[in-house]
A = this chain, B = another copy of it.
């Protein structure tokens, strides 16, 4: 198999450690990757880049079109643009895919049967960043929803459901209030849904949907929604599934894709060989599927699962009675490699 070129960024905080662990596992599993490394994040911001990404990094991303990204730290103080939002927009990453799965009893959760994938529109909505001060005391932000933008992410959600054998796609909107913006999202959901008669469809007003998701997440399968709702719901889902530390995510565009952990750079844990590399590793599994190396993806995923099921874990997902061995980042990676 020829090697697939990918761009890798080690990020800040715990980023370097979990990236190291992840890449070691991928290598041992036989992933065929040609890795280009770029620098992003805090240091780049502080060198004066308002976006935390330099021109050479963009060159690499445009060339490889696949980005495995560790979490970064945005420096304190104003004037820094969100790197994530910048990348999503610059590379046209319109769908953000965030699975949230319970690994009970190995990971503590109140929702042992949940297995939901949140697919979030990733470029529009209030994230368009159009904001201004209208008068001294009045501030405005523009929420923007387009028909093609809605159509793309909704179609992606149905295709995703079909190719992963999922039974139902749910839509969250607030179109009793936002009849035009959320209205078009809802209408596109109904319209595109007709092309997928094999898949069950339902729509919830976002507040009611959110309440159901928080209370009985096992009733959902794939959920698609506008950007801001997706931001909130995917964090809820990750957390109640047991740990944000296990969440991986894919940002998908027509040309490019970016894969990352759901969690942040956790500066207090950095450099201590404590961090859980699972979120980034599960993102890397999604990357392997995306670049056409599904067998390697399965191999890594199964070895990770086996490690967890053997009671081997980092400090963050300790469970009384289930825990067999609490290990550091490196030892956890080695345990996964031993099970490949």
Contacts and interface: CB of A to CB of B under 8 A. Distances in A.
Chain A contact-residue range equals: 35 or more
A176 B82 CA distance: 8
Given A214-B240, A232-B232, A239-B214, A139 B132 contact: no
A231 B215 contact: no
Given A207-B231, A214-B214, A228-B174, A180 B139 contact: yes
Interface stretch (A143-151, A281-289, A313-321): A143-151
Nearest to A207: B235
A138 B131 contact: no
A236 interface: yes
A1 interface: no
Given A210-B235, A232-B232, 17 more contacts: A82-B177, A126-B177, A138-B146, A139-B147, A140-B180, A141-B142, A141-B145, A142-B143, A174-B228, A206-B232, A207-B231, A207-B236, A208-B235, A212-B239, A214-B214, A214-B240, A229-B232
A133 to B, nearest CB: 6
A1 B129 CA distance: 56
Contacts of A179: 78, 131
Contact of A180 (B82, B141, B145, B232): B141
Given A110-B110, A206-B232, A236-B211, A139 B177 contact: no
A180 B181 CA distance: 21
A75 B43 CA distance: 57
A275 B168 CA distance: 31
Nearest to A136: B147
A141 B143 contact: yes
A217 to B, nearest CB: 9
Contact of A146 (B137, B206, B214, B232): B137
Given A211-B235, A236-B211, A143 B144 contact: no
Contacts of A207: 231-232, 234-236
Contacts of A244: 211
A184 interface: yes
The 3 closest A-B pairs by CB, nearest first: A211-B239, A214-B214, A207-B235
Interface string A177-188: 111110110000
A184 B136 CA distance: 11
A127 interface: yes
A85 interface: yes
A222 to B, nearest CB: 19
Interface string A230-253: 011011101110001000000000
A144 B148 contact: no
Given A127-B177, A177-B82, A146 B139 contact: yes
Contacts of A184: 139
A211 to B, nearest CB: 4
A82 B181 CA distance: 16
A176 B208 CA distance: 26
Given A140-B142, A214-B240, A126 B232 contact: no
A103 B340 CA distance: 48
